[in-house]
Structure 1
Amino acid sequence: MKNLLRSSFIAVLAMSFLFVADASAQQGELGKVLRRIEAHNKNLTTMRAGLTWAKENTQLRETDTKTGDIKYAKRPGKDALVRIDWTRPSEIISIGDGKYVLFQPGNKIAYTGSVKNAQKGQTKAASALSFMTMSKAELDSNFDPSYLGQGTLSDGTQVAHLKLMPKGKAGFQWAELWVDVDGMPRQTKIVESNNDVSTFLITKPSKNTPLKKSDFEVSIPSGTDIKKT
Protein backbone atom coordinates (compact mmCIF):
# COMPACT_ATOMS: atom_id res chain seq x y z
CA MET A 1 0.00 0.00 0.00
CA LYS A 2 2.82 2.38 0.86
CA ASN A 3 4.41 1.65 -2.52
CA LEU A 4 1.07 2.36 -4.23
CA LEU A 5 0.72 5.73 -2.49
CA ARG A 6 4.34 6.57 -3.09
CA SER A 7 3.90 5.83 -6.79
CA SER A 8 0.81 8.08 -6.86
CA PHE A 9 2.71 10.98 -5.34
CA ILE A 10 6.13 10.97 -6.89
CA ALA A 11 7.06 11.58 -10.49
CA VAL A 12 9.72 12.23 -13.08
CA LEU A 13 11.18 11.84 -16.58
CA ALA A 14 14.61 11.57 -18.25
CA MET A 15 15.41 14.20 -20.86
CA SER A 16 18.69 15.55 -22.22
CA PHE A 17 19.71 19.18 -21.71
CA LEU A 18 20.84 21.16 -24.73
CA PHE A 19 23.96 22.84 -23.38
CA VAL A 20 25.97 23.46 -20.22
CA ALA A 21 27.14 27.01 -19.50
CA ASP A 22 30.34 27.94 -17.72
CA ALA A 23 30.28 28.14 -13.91
CA SER A 24 29.68 31.89 -13.60
CA ALA A 25 26.98 31.87 -16.27
CA GLN A 26 25.35 28.90 -14.58
CA GLN A 27 25.06 30.79 -11.31
CA GLY A 28 23.57 33.81 -13.06
CA GLU A 29 21.02 31.72 -14.95
CA LEU A 30 20.25 29.68 -11.82
CA GLY A 31 19.41 32.84 -9.91
CA LYS A 32 17.07 33.99 -12.67
CA VAL A 33 15.23 30.65 -12.74
CA LEU A 34 14.89 30.50 -8.96
CA ARG A 35 13.45 34.02 -8.90
CA ARG A 36 10.92 33.02 -11.56
CA ILE A 37 9.97 29.97 -9.48
CA GLU A 38 9.49 32.19 -6.43
CA ALA A 39 7.29 34.68 -8.29
CA HIS A 40 5.20 31.89 -9.80
CA ASN A 41 4.77 30.22 -6.42
CA LYS A 42 3.50 33.45 -4.87
CA ASN A 43 1.01 34.09 -7.68
CA LEU A 44 -0.36 30.55 -8.06
CA THR A 45 -3.63 29.93 -6.19
CA THR A 46 -5.29 27.13 -8.16
CA MET A 47 -4.52 24.93 -11.14
CA ARG A 48 -6.08 22.35 -13.40
CA ALA A 49 -3.83 20.44 -15.78
CA GLY A 50 -3.18 17.23 -17.63
CA LEU A 51 -0.81 14.84 -15.92
CA THR A 52 1.43 12.03 -17.12
CA TRP A 53 3.29 9.82 -14.68
CA ALA A 54 5.75 7.12 -15.64
CA LYS A 55 8.04 4.88 -13.64
CA GLU A 56 10.95 3.07 -15.22
CA ASN A 57 12.26 -0.11 -13.64
CA THR A 58 15.87 0.06 -14.76
CA GLN A 59 16.62 -3.57 -13.88
CA LEU A 60 13.70 -5.00 -15.84
CA ARG A 61 13.83 -2.21 -18.43
CA GLU A 62 10.08 -1.75 -18.12
CA THR A 63 8.10 1.47 -17.82
CA ASP A 64 4.59 1.82 -16.38
CA THR A 65 2.69 4.93 -17.46
CA LYS A 66 -0.42 6.65 -16.11
CA THR A 67 -2.30 9.59 -17.61
CA GLY A 68 -4.96 11.76 -16.07
CA ASP A 69 -5.80 15.18 -14.66
CA ILE A 70 -4.76 17.13 -11.59
CA LYS A 71 -6.47 19.82 -9.54
CA TYR A 72 -4.55 21.95 -7.04
CA ALA A 73 -5.67 24.70 -4.66
CA LYS A 74 -3.47 26.66 -2.30
CA ARG A 75 -4.99 27.55 1.09
CA PRO A 76 -3.44 30.26 3.30
CA GLY A 77 -2.34 28.75 6.60
CA LYS A 78 -3.36 25.23 5.56
CA ASP A 79 -2.05 22.40 3.44
CA ALA A 80 -2.98 22.62 -0.22
CA LEU A 81 -5.80 20.54 -1.69
CA VAL A 82 -4.76 18.10 -4.40
CA ARG A 83 -6.79 15.68 -6.48
CA ILE A 84 -5.53 13.40 -9.24
CA ASP A 85 -7.93 11.50 -11.51
CA TRP A 86 -6.03 8.83 -13.37
CA THR A 87 -7.75 7.53 -16.49
CA ARG A 88 -5.37 4.72 -17.43
CA PRO A 89 -5.85 2.80 -15.17
CA SER A 90 -8.84 4.36 -13.40
CA GLU A 91 -7.83 5.64 -9.97
CA ILE A 92 -8.58 8.74 -7.89
CA ILE A 93 -6.44 10.18 -5.14
CA SER A 94 -7.41 13.22 -3.08
CA ILE A 95 -5.30 14.90 -0.40
CA GLY A 96 -6.36 17.60 2.05
CA ASP A 97 -6.35 18.50 5.75
CA GLY A 98 -3.67 15.91 6.41
CA LYS A 99 -5.79 13.05 5.08
CA TYR A 100 -6.02 11.13 1.83
CA VAL A 101 -8.51 9.03 -0.11
CA LEU A 102 -7.31 6.60 -2.77
CA PHE A 103 -10.19 5.06 -4.73
CA GLN A 104 -9.86 2.32 -7.35
CA PRO A 105 -13.27 2.03 -9.07
CA GLY A 106 -12.33 -1.07 -11.06
CA ASN A 107 -11.40 -2.98 -7.91
CA LYS A 108 -14.14 -1.37 -5.78
CA ILE A 109 -11.53 -0.61 -3.13
CA ALA A 110 -10.83 2.67 -1.32
CA TYR A 111 -7.98 3.46 1.05
CA THR A 112 -8.26 6.29 3.57
CA GLY A 113 -6.08 7.60 6.35
CA SER A 114 -3.45 10.09 7.43
CA VAL A 115 -1.04 11.35 4.78
CA LYS A 116 1.66 11.34 7.44
CA ASN A 117 1.21 7.63 8.01
CA ALA A 118 0.88 6.87 4.31
CA GLN A 119 4.18 8.59 3.59
CA LYS A 120 6.06 7.29 6.61
CA GLY A 121 9.82 7.29 6.01
CA GLN A 122 9.65 9.80 3.16
CA THR A 123 10.67 13.43 3.15
CA LYS A 124 8.52 16.21 1.84
CA ALA A 125 10.73 16.48 -1.24
CA ALA A 126 10.02 12.83 -2.12
CA SER A 127 6.72 13.92 -3.61
CA ALA A 128 7.04 15.33 -7.11
CA LEU A 129 3.97 17.44 -6.47
CA SER A 130 5.84 19.29 -3.74
CA PHE A 131 8.41 20.47 -6.29
CA MET A 132 5.63 22.24 -8.16
CA THR A 133 4.88 24.49 -5.20
CA MET A 134 8.21 24.80 -3.39
CA SER A 135 9.38 28.33 -2.71
CA LYS A 136 12.93 29.45 -3.41
CA ALA A 137 13.64 29.27 0.32
CA GLU A 138 12.42 25.66 0.49
CA LEU A 139 14.51 24.67 -2.51
CA ASP A 140 17.59 26.33 -1.01
CA SER A 141 16.92 24.68 2.36
CA ASN A 142 16.48 21.15 1.01
CA PHE A 143 18.76 21.06 -2.03
CA ASP A 144 21.93 22.27 -3.70
CA PRO A 145 20.50 23.40 -7.06
CA SER A 146 22.52 23.72 -10.26
CA TYR A 147 21.66 25.02 -13.73
CA LEU A 148 22.07 22.53 -16.58
CA GLY A 149 20.85 24.52 -19.57
CA GLN A 150 17.82 25.14 -21.77
CA GLY A 151 15.61 22.53 -23.38
CA THR A 152 12.25 21.68 -24.91
CA LEU A 153 9.68 19.30 -23.45
CA SER A 154 7.79 16.71 -25.47
CA ASP A 155 4.81 19.09 -25.74
CA GLY A 156 7.00 21.86 -27.17
CA THR A 157 7.34 23.90 -23.96
CA GLN A 158 10.62 25.84 -23.69
CA VAL A 159 12.21 25.21 -20.30
CA ALA A 160 15.23 25.75 -18.10
CA HIS A 161 16.74 22.55 -16.71
CA LEU A 162 17.85 22.34 -13.06
CA LYS A 163 19.40 19.56 -11.00
CA LEU A 164 18.65 19.30 -7.27
CA MET A 165 21.03 17.41 -5.00
CA PRO A 166 19.47 16.70 -1.56
CA LYS A 167 21.31 18.22 1.38
CA GLY A 168 20.19 15.41 3.69
CA LYS A 169 18.45 12.06 3.58
CA ALA A 170 15.74 12.24 0.95
CA GLY A 171 14.96 8.68 -0.10
CA PHE A 172 16.29 9.35 -3.61
CA GLN A 173 19.62 10.19 -5.23
CA TRP A 174 18.74 13.45 -6.95
CA ALA A 175 15.92 15.31 -8.66
CA GLU A 176 15.66 17.47 -11.77
CA LEU A 177 13.24 20.24 -12.72
CA TRP A 178 12.25 21.64 -16.09
CA VAL A 179 10.90 25.16 -15.49
CA ASP A 180 8.93 27.15 -18.08
CA VAL A 181 9.29 30.88 -18.80
CA ASP A 182 6.59 31.68 -16.22
CA GLY A 183 8.55 29.94 -13.46
CA MET A 184 6.34 26.88 -13.27
CA PRO A 185 8.04 23.48 -12.87
CA ARG A 186 6.41 21.60 -15.74
CA GLN A 187 8.37 18.40 -15.43
CA THR A 188 10.30 16.72 -12.63
CA LYS A 189 12.65 13.79 -12.53
CA ILE A 190 13.62 11.69 -9.53
CA VAL A 191 16.36 9.09 -9.63
CA GLU A 192 15.55 6.77 -6.77
CA SER A 193 17.96 4.93 -4.48
CA ASN A 194 17.70 1.75 -6.58
CA ASN A 195 18.27 3.74 -9.81
CA ASP A 196 14.63 3.51 -10.91
CA VAL A 197 13.45 6.69 -12.62
CA SER A 198 10.03 8.25 -12.07
CA THR A 199 8.37 10.88 -14.26
CA PHE A 200 5.80 13.61 -13.77
CA LEU A 201 4.78 15.89 -16.64
CA ILE A 202 2.19 18.67 -16.39
CA THR A 203 0.47 19.69 -19.63
CA LYS A 204 -1.94 22.47 -20.59
CA PRO A 205 -2.12 24.08 -17.13
CA SER A 206 -5.06 26.39 -16.41
CA LYS A 207 -4.11 28.60 -13.47
CA ASN A 208 -6.01 30.64 -10.90
CA THR A 209 -9.50 29.60 -12.00
CA PRO A 210 -12.19 29.08 -9.32
CA LEU A 211 -12.14 25.72 -7.53
CA LYS A 212 -14.34 24.67 -4.61
CA LYS A 213 -13.46 22.29 -1.80
CA SER A 214 -16.14 19.96 -3.15
CA ASP A 215 -14.12 19.68 -6.37
CA PHE A 216 -11.57 17.70 -4.37
CA GLU A 217 -13.98 15.39 -2.56
CA VAL A 218 -14.22 11.77 -3.68
CA SER A 219 -17.66 10.14 -3.84
CA ILE A 220 -17.29 6.50 -2.83
CA PRO A 221 -20.27 4.33 -3.88
CA SER A 222 -21.90 1.86 -1.54
CA GLY A 223 -20.46 -1.63 -1.69
CA THR A 224 -16.89 -0.33 -1.88
CA ASP A 225 -14.37 -2.09 0.35
CA ILE A 226 -12.92 0.74 2.46
CA LYS A 227 -9.56 0.09 4.08
CA LYS A 228 -8.28 2.51 6.73
CA THR A 229 -4.55 2.95 7.23
Structure 2
Amino acid sequence: MLDSMPRPQSWLRPLTKLLSVGSALAFGVAGLSANAIAAERLVFTYGAANRDIQISDLETLVETGEIPRDAATLRFIVDTANITAEDMQTALTQELSVSLRFIDDVTYSLPGEYVLFQMGQVFHNRGRVAEIQSLRAAFINSVSSDGKITLLEFLQNYPNRDLYIDGARLLRDARTVIAFAEDLGQRLEVPLTVAKEILEGVVCECEAPSTATAEE
Protein backbone atom coordinates (compact mmCIF):
# COMPACT_ATOMS: atom_id res chain seq x y z
CA MET A 1 0.00 0.00 0.00
CA LEU A 2 2.85 2.35 0.80
CA ASP A 3 4.32 1.89 -2.69
CA SER A 4 1.82 4.39 -4.05
CA MET A 5 2.82 7.02 -1.49
CA PRO A 6 5.89 9.28 -1.42
CA ARG A 7 8.86 7.51 0.15
CA PRO A 8 9.43 8.64 3.75
CA GLN A 9 12.98 9.82 3.01
CA SER A 10 11.94 12.20 0.22
CA TRP A 11 8.72 13.24 1.95
CA LEU A 12 10.20 13.94 5.38
CA ARG A 13 13.22 15.88 4.15
CA PRO A 14 11.30 18.88 2.75
CA LEU A 15 8.61 18.57 5.40
CA THR A 16 11.20 18.73 8.17
CA LYS A 17 12.50 21.97 6.68
CA LEU A 18 9.05 23.49 6.91
CA LEU A 19 8.52 22.18 10.39
CA SER A 20 11.75 23.63 11.72
CA VAL A 21 10.02 26.88 10.88
CA GLY A 22 7.23 25.52 13.04
CA SER A 23 3.75 24.46 12.20
CA ALA A 24 1.83 22.55 14.76
CA LEU A 25 -1.21 21.80 16.72
CA ALA A 26 -1.79 21.66 20.39
CA PHE A 27 -4.00 20.16 23.07
CA GLY A 28 -5.59 16.99 21.80
CA VAL A 29 -5.16 13.25 21.38
CA ALA A 30 -4.74 11.07 18.32
CA GLY A 31 -7.73 9.34 16.83
CA LEU A 32 -10.31 11.92 17.84
CA SER A 33 -13.76 11.30 16.40
CA ALA A 34 -15.61 13.64 14.07
CA ASN A 35 -17.69 14.78 17.03
CA ALA A 36 -14.69 15.87 19.08
CA ILE A 37 -13.69 19.47 19.73
CA ALA A 38 -12.66 21.18 16.51
CA ALA A 39 -11.07 24.51 15.72
CA GLU A 40 -13.45 27.44 15.52
CA ARG A 41 -11.03 30.35 15.34
CA LEU A 42 -7.56 31.19 14.00
CA VAL A 43 -5.57 33.68 16.04
CA PHE A 44 -2.67 35.26 14.14
CA THR A 45 -0.13 36.76 16.54
CA TYR A 46 2.79 39.06 15.87
CA GLY A 47 4.39 40.20 19.09
CA ALA A 48 1.67 41.77 21.22
CA ALA A 49 -0.66 42.26 18.25
CA ASN A 50 -3.18 39.66 17.12
CA ARG A 51 -6.10 39.25 14.73
CA ASP A 52 -8.82 36.59 14.70
CA ILE A 53 -10.44 34.74 11.81
CA GLN A 54 -13.45 32.48 12.31
CA ILE A 55 -13.19 29.04 10.69
CA SER A 56 -16.85 29.42 9.70
CA ASP A 57 -15.88 32.46 7.60
CA LEU A 58 -13.32 30.34 5.75
CA GLU A 59 -15.95 27.65 5.18
CA THR A 60 -18.33 30.23 3.74
CA LEU A 61 -15.59 31.54 1.48
CA VAL A 62 -14.92 28.03 0.17
CA GLU A 63 -18.62 27.37 -0.45
CA THR A 64 -19.52 30.69 -2.08
CA GLY A 65 -16.24 32.05 -3.39
CA GLU A 66 -16.94 35.28 -1.52
CA ILE A 67 -15.78 36.76 1.78
CA PRO A 68 -18.69 37.01 4.25
CA ARG A 69 -19.93 40.56 4.67
CA ASP A 70 -19.27 40.59 8.42
CA ALA A 71 -15.81 38.97 8.20
CA ALA A 72 -13.93 42.24 8.65
CA THR A 73 -10.61 40.71 9.67
CA LEU A 74 -10.55 38.23 6.81
CA ARG A 75 -11.41 40.96 4.33
CA PHE A 76 -8.74 43.25 5.78
CA ILE A 77 -6.04 40.58 5.50
CA VAL A 78 -7.02 39.66 1.93
CA ASP A 79 -6.99 43.32 0.89
CA THR A 80 -3.70 44.04 2.65
CA ALA A 81 -2.03 40.98 1.13
CA ASN A 82 -3.34 42.03 -2.31
CA ILE A 83 -4.91 38.65 -3.08
CA THR A 84 -8.40 37.73 -4.23
CA ALA A 85 -11.12 35.65 -2.62
CA GLU A 86 -10.51 33.12 -5.39
CA ASP A 87 -6.83 32.87 -4.39
CA MET A 88 -7.86 32.18 -0.82
CA GLN A 89 -10.47 29.65 -1.93
CA THR A 90 -7.85 27.80 -3.97
CA ALA A 91 -5.38 27.76 -1.09
CA LEU A 92 -7.98 26.32 1.27
CA THR A 93 -9.22 23.58 -1.07
CA GLN A 94 -6.03 22.40 -2.79
CA GLU A 95 -5.96 18.62 -2.25
CA LEU A 96 -2.97 16.47 -1.36
CA SER A 97 -3.48 12.71 -1.70
CA VAL A 98 -1.92 10.69 1.11
CA SER A 99 -2.95 7.39 2.71
CA LEU A 100 -3.99 7.04 6.33
CA ARG A 101 -1.42 4.29 6.80
CA PHE A 102 1.35 6.54 5.51
CA ILE A 103 0.36 9.36 7.86
CA ASP A 104 0.12 6.89 10.74
CA ASP A 105 3.54 5.37 10.02
CA VAL A 106 5.23 8.73 9.63
CA THR A 107 3.70 10.58 12.58
CA TYR A 108 4.41 7.72 14.99
CA SER A 109 8.06 7.46 13.92
CA LEU A 110 10.84 9.22 15.82
CA PRO A 111 11.66 11.59 12.92
CA GLY A 112 7.95 12.25 12.45
CA GLU A 113 7.44 13.17 16.09
CA TYR A 114 10.39 15.53 15.88
CA VAL A 115 8.72 17.16 12.90
CA LEU A 116 5.49 17.56 14.84
CA PHE A 117 7.37 19.01 17.80
CA GLN A 118 8.97 21.63 15.56
CA MET A 119 5.60 22.44 14.04
CA GLY A 120 4.28 23.18 17.51
CA GLN A 121 6.61 26.14 17.82
CA VAL A 122 4.46 28.05 15.34
CA PHE A 123 0.98 26.50 15.44
CA HIS A 124 -0.32 25.93 18.95
CA ASN A 125 -3.19 26.40 21.35
CA ARG A 126 -3.14 29.09 23.99
CA GLY A 127 -1.58 26.83 26.60
CA ARG A 128 1.03 25.36 24.21
CA VAL A 129 0.37 21.80 25.38
CA ALA A 130 0.26 18.39 23.61
CA GLU A 131 1.53 19.74 20.31
CA ILE A 132 2.57 16.35 18.91
CA GLN A 133 -0.71 14.62 19.75
CA SER A 134 -2.78 17.46 18.36
CA LEU A 135 -0.95 17.74 15.07
CA ARG A 136 -1.09 13.99 14.61
CA ALA A 137 -4.84 14.01 15.32
CA ALA A 138 -5.45 16.77 12.79
CA PHE A 139 -3.57 14.91 10.05
CA ILE A 140 -5.17 11.54 10.81
CA ASN A 141 -8.71 12.90 11.02
CA SER A 142 -8.24 14.85 7.79
CA VAL A 143 -7.20 11.87 5.66
CA SER A 144 -9.22 9.11 7.36
CA SER A 145 -12.37 9.50 5.25
CA ASP A 146 -11.01 9.83 1.71
CA GLY A 147 -7.20 9.67 1.72
CA LYS A 148 -6.91 13.37 0.92
CA ILE A 149 -6.16 16.48 2.91
CA THR A 150 -6.75 20.17 2.31
CA LEU A 151 -5.69 23.18 4.33
CA LEU A 152 -9.30 23.81 5.38
CA GLU A 153 -9.74 20.21 6.56
CA PHE A 154 -6.53 20.44 8.53
CA LEU A 155 -7.72 23.61 10.27
CA GLN A 156 -11.17 22.13 10.91
CA ASN A 157 -9.69 19.00 12.48
CA TYR A 158 -7.35 20.79 14.86
CA PRO A 159 -8.58 19.48 18.26
CA ASN A 160 -8.96 22.77 20.09
CA ARG A 161 -11.34 25.68 19.58
CA ASP A 162 -8.54 28.22 19.07
CA LEU A 163 -5.52 27.68 16.82
CA TYR A 164 -2.76 30.22 17.41
CA ILE A 165 -0.29 30.98 14.61
CA ASP A 166 2.97 32.72 15.52
CA GLY A 167 3.42 34.93 12.47
CA ALA A 168 6.74 36.40 13.62
CA ARG A 169 8.40 33.02 13.98
CA LEU A 170 6.94 31.70 10.76
CA LEU A 171 8.13 34.70 8.76
CA ARG A 172 11.62 34.47 10.24
CA ASP A 173 11.99 31.19 8.41
CA ALA A 174 10.09 32.09 5.24
CA ARG A 175 12.94 30.81 3.08
CA THR A 176 12.53 27.36 4.60
CA VAL A 177 8.84 27.37 3.70
CA ILE A 178 9.69 28.32 0.12
CA ALA A 179 12.27 25.52 -0.08
CA PHE A 180 9.64 23.08 1.18
CA ALA A 181 7.19 24.22 -1.49
CA GLU A 182 9.79 23.74 -4.21
CA ASP A 183 10.70 20.25 -2.99
CA LEU A 184 7.12 19.14 -2.64
CA GLY A 185 6.21 20.50 -6.05
CA GLN A 186 3.83 22.87 -7.74
CA ARG A 187 0.86 21.20 -6.04
CA LEU A 188 1.41 23.29 -2.90
CA GLU A 189 2.84 26.38 -4.56
CA VAL A 190 -0.42 28.35 -4.61
CA PRO A 191 -1.48 27.66 -0.99
CA LEU A 192 1.94 28.49 0.45
CA THR A 193 2.30 31.63 -1.64
CA VAL A 194 -1.09 32.85 -0.47
CA ALA A 195 -0.22 32.02 3.15
CA LYS A 196 3.05 33.94 2.88
CA GLU A 197 1.29 36.97 1.39
CA ILE A 198 -1.34 36.89 4.14
CA LEU A 199 1.29 36.81 6.88
CA GLU A 200 3.27 39.61 5.26
CA GLY A 201 0.09 41.68 5.12
CA VAL A 202 -0.56 41.12 8.82
CA VAL A 203 3.04 41.98 9.71
CA CYS A 204 3.05 45.19 7.67
CA GLU A 205 -0.13 46.35 9.40
CA CYS A 206 1.17 45.44 12.85
CA GLU A 207 4.53 47.16 12.37
CA ALA A 208 3.13 50.38 10.90
CA PRO A 209 2.11 52.03 14.24
CA SER A 210 5.51 51.41 15.88
CA THR A 211 7.30 52.84 12.85
CA ALA A 212 5.18 55.96 12.91
CA THR A 213 5.86 56.42 16.65
CA ALA A 214 9.60 56.12 16.16
CA GLU A 215 9.57 58.82 13.50
CA GLU A 216 7.72 61.19 15.82
Fold match by TM threshold 0.5: no
TM-score interval for Structure 1 and Structure 2 normalised by the shorter chain: under 0.3
TM-score by length of 1: 0.24
Q: Which structure has more helix as a fraction of its residues?
A: 2
Q: Which structure has more strand as a fraction of its residues?
A: 1
* Larger RCO (CA within 8 A; separation ≥ 6): 2
TM-score by length of 2: 0.25
